[in-house]
Chains A and B, each alone.
Chain A
Amino acid sequence: MVSGVAPDFEEKHAMKVLVPVKRVIDYNVKVRVKADGSGVDLANVKMSMNPFDEIAVEQAIRLKEAGKAEEVVAVSIGVKQAQETLRTALAMGADRAILVIAADDVHQDIEPLAVAKTLKAIVDEEQPGLVLAGKQAIDNDMNATGQMLSALLGWSQGAFASELDIDGDNAVVTREVDGGLQTIKVKMPTVVTVDLRLNEPRYASLPNIMKAKKKPLDEKTAADYGVDVSPRLEIVSTTEPEARKAGEIVGSVDELVAKLKEAGAI
């Protein structure tokens, strides 16, 4: 790159990163199942940004700080209150946000396929070079949206990223797989979903929280993108994990063996 910057070179470096963020029950909250078993009680419960999405936002901002991305756009699809989640992303350093209102009831979860379809429509409009998503949302652990989006777009994908580097036209993704770490190179544009160890998200600084109010936040509806968000899945039941039963202290090895036999464990 000694002389004359080619236009397409410049374009690639003007890469936009799209980061979908989900509003979920805060990870510190003790979850309670609704009386009718239809799901978890979310009324008047503290909600926050899905922790994996926080990592995605952090990574996008780091790419921007490293000069590898030019703009970070955060998107949330859900209830109107997801605006708070977007403000968090803006306070962390995203440049602007798009809120897609797809439900009125905080208990209505927008399923991965509907989210992926909406994101596809937004990608078509925004033309990002990279979509950075959390690998899953901690509320229902679906782990599907990023993969579905990649399929809908016909883009490459790198899921469970624990390292990410942009190298010209390619993204180099180190993935956490069962056997260890796997490093792959995928062609851009691409969808990357991030894992826990990719980075440690920053605190939004207090001055930046105040500035976030002035950053643009577009409000849309699912209908604007022609996506039908009505549920396709039916939740049959939701139950609390079984409480751990009290243990028993035994006096000797013989007693232990006897008890285990009694319980049919040996």
Chain B
Amino acid sequence: MLDPETRTLFLETTHKFVNETLIPAETDVSETDQIPADIVKQMQDLGLFGLSIPEEFGGLGLSMSDEVEVAMILGQASPAFRSLAGTNIGIGSQAIIFGGSDAQRTKYLPDMASGALIGSFALTEPDVGSDAASVKTFAHKTDGGYILNGTKRFITNAPEAGLFTVMARTGEPGAKGVSCFLVEAGSTGLSVGPCDKKMGQRGAHTADVIFQDCFVPDDALLGGQEGTGFTAAMRTLDKGRLHISAICAGAARRLLDEALRYASERQQFGKPIAEFQLVQAMLAESQTELYAAECMIRDAARRRDAGENTGTLASCCKLYASEMVGRVADRAVQIFGGAGYMAEYPIERFYRDVRLFRLYEGTSEIQKIIIAKSMLRNLDS
């Protein structure tokens, strides 16, 4: 846990970077579908890629409480920036931190912390989405390693990645038959498809990752153990969902700030529209829901830091925060009136960008299933 003075300085610096460097570059990133190299360099220099990687591997080893504060600030800029560092902070590195062998950790984590190596997390497949335990990509045991066959879909940062955390089946059907492999980009038999054309988050890329008789050595198996892949994936998502929730809160903060400023400047009927109670209602509802999300996220993060199992709480946060930011974005468009529909203003872009948060790292429906199942489990015991 950072001491208050360090934490303040840390967050102020992140804020300054967001306001002075990232936000001014947003339009360019969305038009070119590319984050400029000098901004990537600045993100690396700042240390953003290593937020959650332990200090012994060159990262910052932030507590969850500190990480969500940083994420709430990063989320205020276009999600494309966060996405580039996001896999190293979350799903692309966590399985290695939790389940990797010492050799695997020392091999990959330092470069991930600096941002020199981008890690991707490859779970989803064409026929395997919400039902993640039904992974079909197959890893066949052979002399000295495994041969992988299958296709992974919608994999964030696949075109940029140097390392893929791949969930593949080594045994029986179901969760217990899934193993996790660390596959380096450039491995023979591994190819990355063209970038997907997405609704939003231009500048962040997803693509198919295809394995055709792709050989990986034995030491690519996470932790040297078969059958632990699904658990690794779920542990990774427990943490990742809190991070995503904080990003949602950050995006909502930005949308609301923009809407508030616009409402106080835009005049109709001889006065600022912020003076009309129907507009005030939209502002107040957004503020209240945002505050609720922030409280949930901070509480869950604190409890996670205290050692509590916060899987269910993380799902509550992800469900609420991702739905909340959708409503806040919708109201922001409404407050902007016709201007909110126009690409000239960031509102239109954010409206599309935040739609994703209700889908990945588990859809809203899947979060509800997780929450309710856990409630029912606890009823029995």
**Are B45 and A205 touching (Cβ within 8 A)?**
yes
Give the distance to chain A from B48, nearest Cβ to Cβ, in Å: 7
Contact mask for chain B residues 1-34; partner A; CB cutoff 8 A; 1 contact, 0 none:
0110110111011101100000000000000000
B42 contacts A by Cβ under 8 Å: yes
A259 to B303, CA, bound (A): 69
Task: Name the CB-closest residue of B to A81.
Answer: B5
**Are A87 and B13 touching (Cβ within 8 A)?**
no
In the complex, what residues of B have CB within 8 A of residue A264's CB? none
In the complex, what residues of B have CB within 8 A of residue A205's CB? 45-47
Counting residue pairs across A and B whose Cβ atoms lie within 8 Å, the total is 46
Give the distance to chain A from B10, nearest Cβ to Cβ, in Å: 5
In the complex, what residues of B have CB within 8 A of residue A48's CB? 12
Taking chain B's interface residues, is the majority helix, strand, or loop, or is none over half, making it mixed?
A: helix
**Are A206 and B13 touching (Cβ within 8 A)?**
yes
B60 contacts A by Cβ under 8 Å: yes
| A210 contact from B6, B12, B42, B46, Cβ within 8 A | B6
Known: A203-B42, A205-B45, A205-B47. A213 touches B3 (CB 8 A): yes
Chain A residues numbered 242-262 whose CB sits less than 8 Å from any CB in chain B: none
Interface residues on B, range: 20 to 34
**Are A209 and B13 touching (Cβ within 8 A)?**
yes
In the complex, what residues of A have CB within 8 A of residue B17's CB? 203
**Are A203 and B13 touching (Cβ within 8 A)?**
yes
Contact mask for chain B residues 262-295; partner A; CB cutoff 8 A; 1 contact, 0 none:
0000000000000000000000000000000000
In the complex, what residues of A have CB within 8 A of residue B47's CB? 205-207
**Are B10 and A209 touching (Cβ within 8 A)?**
yes
Chain A residues numbered 200-251 whose CB sits less than 8 Å from any CB in chain B: 203-207, 209-210, 212-213
In the complex, what residues of A have CB within 8 A of residue B8's CB? 84
**Are B16 and A203 touching (Cβ within 8 A)?**
yes
A84 to B11, CA, bound (A): 13
Interface centre among B17, B47, B60 (most CB of A within 10 A): B47
A84 to B13, CA, bound (A): 13
A100 contacts B by Cβ under 8 Å: no
Residues of A within 8 A of B (CB): 48, 83-84, 87-88, 91, 203-207, 209-210, 212-213
Residues of B within 8 A of A (CB): 2-3, 5-6, 8-10, 12-14, 16-17, 42, 45-48, 50-51, 60
14 contacts between A and B (CB under 8 A): A48-B12, A84-B5, A84-B8, A91-B13, A203-B16, A203-B17, A203-B46, A205-B46, A206-B51, A206-B60, A207-B50, A209-B6, A210-B6, A213-B6
